[in-house]
Amino acid sequence: MKTSAFLYPWDVVGDPDAAARIAGLGVQQVTLAAAYHSTRALTPRHPRHRIVTAEHAAVLYEPDEARWAGRELRPYAAGGWAPGDAYGEAAAALADAGLEVHTWVVLAHNSRLGAEHPETSVVNAYGDRYPWAPCIAQPAVRSLLVDLAAEAATRPGARGTELESCGWYGLAHLHAHDKIAGVALGDAAQFLMSLCFCAACAEGYVAQGVEPQLLSAAVRNALEPVWAGVAPSDAGIERLLGAELTAATLDFRTRTARTLQESAVAAVRAAAPAGFQVLLHADPVACHGGANAGVDPAHVLSVADGVVVPCTGGARLLEPFASRGVAGSVLAANFTVVRGMGGSPGTLAEDAARAVGLGANELRLYHAGLASDGDLAVVSAALSGPA
C-alpha cells in the first residue's frame, strides 16, 4: 500500500540528511507543501533552526509573473522561511532519495488576503468577517483559487497533487490565541456560524428564492438558544433553522463548492502531464467546512482521482466514500502520527488495518517534519511490519 508523509520545504532545505531520513521511514511518497497558509512549525532535527514562522499564506516557489501580472488578487511570495524556489529545492532532494513527490496545495485559507482585501472574506450573519476564509462564491476569489491550483499543483517533477481547503472555510480555525470555545458548538451551530452573507452569497440566496436579510435574521434567532446554552447539543440544522431555509442554503453552498472543485481539478489537469494524480482533502458531510472540505462522495469521486480523508479520530469517514466509490479511486486514510498533536503512532498498524477494512487503499502520515525522533521510530517500525 502506498504511504505518503507530509512535509514542508523548510524541513528539507538546509538539512542534508532530511531526504534520506524520510526515505528510511518506509514511505514511498512525500506530499510536499507548494502553497500553504501561515503557520508556526517545529523543526526538531534541522541543523540550523527549531522553529519556522511562516508569517502569511504564500507559494513556496517563485510564481509565474506572466500569469499574475496586473491582477489585484494574486498569491503572495514567501519570506525568509521559504525563499526562492524552496519547494523545488526540497523536491529535488526528495526525488534523489528515491521518493515520489506530490504537491500539497492549500487554497481557500488565507489570512493575509482577508486582511488586505477584506471584501473577499466570508461574512457571518452578525456581520463579522472571517479574514482567514476567502468566500468561494466570489468570482474574483474563484479565479485566484483556480489559477493558483493550476500553478502550484503542477510544479516540475511532481507526479500528483493534493488540494486542501478546496471548498468552504468557516468559523472553525486554529487562530492565534483562540478564545471561541466558551460555548460548545455542534455541527449545526458551526454551519450557521459559517454561512456567508457577502454580496456574492446574497445574490446566491436570492437565486434560491431566499431574502438574505430574512435568512441572516433567521440564523441569528436560531443561534439564540445556543448562546443561552439551552439548545440540545445534537440539534440538527433543520431543527434550528427550519427545513426550507436549510435546504436552500445547503443547495447553494453545495453547488458553489462543487463548481469550484470541478474548475480547480480541470485547471490542474489542463496544466499537468498525462497520468498526473489529483486528490482532494475531503469530509463526506457536505455541510462541513474547513481544510477537509465537505463534499458529496459520489460527486467528488467522479471529478477527482480520489480523496484524502481525516482518520485520526477513527476511520468511519471512509465508509461513505467506499460505498459510493469509482473503480480505481484513491481513498487515502490520513493519520496524525505526532503524539504532541493528538496522534497515536503506536497504534498506526492497527489503525491502518481498520482503515483498509473500511476501504482505504493508501495511507497519509501527518506530519513527518513535525514529529519527534521517537514518533518517527515508531512509525518506521509500524511500516516495516512484524519483525
| 92 burial level (CB within 10 Å; 0-12, 13-18, 19+) | middle
Q: Which three cell numbers stand for residue 191?
A: 454551519
For the entire predicted model, the pTM comes to 0.96
> What architecture is domain 2-180+253-384?
Alpha-Beta Barrel (3.20)
Q: At what angle do helices 373-384 and 348-357 cross, to 10 degrees?
A: 50
pLDDT digits (tens, 9 = 90+) for 24-74: 999 999 999 999 999 999 999 999 999 999 999 999 999 999 999 999 999
* Residue-by-residue DSSP string for 105-158: EE-S--HHHHHH-GGGEEE-TTS-EEEEEE-TTSHHHHHHHHHHHHHHHT-TT-
386: pLDDT confidence band, cut at 50, 70 and 90?
Answer: low
149-199 pLDDT tens trace: 999 999 999 999 999 999 999 998 877 777 778 888 889 999 999 999 999
pLDDT tens, residue by residue, 228-270: 988 876 779 999 999 999 999 999 999 999 999 999 999 999 9
- Find the DSSP H helices in the chain: 9-12, 18-23, 65-68, 86-96, 111-116, 139-153, 187-194, 199-207, 212-228, 237-241, 243-271, 297-303, 318-323, 348-357, 373-384
Judging by beta carbons within 10 Å of its beta carbon (0-12, 13-18, 19+), is residue 40 exposed, middle or buried?
A: exposed
Contact indicator for 245, 125 with CB cutoff of 8 Å: no
Kindly list the domain boundaries of the chain, sorted by start residue: 2-180+253-384
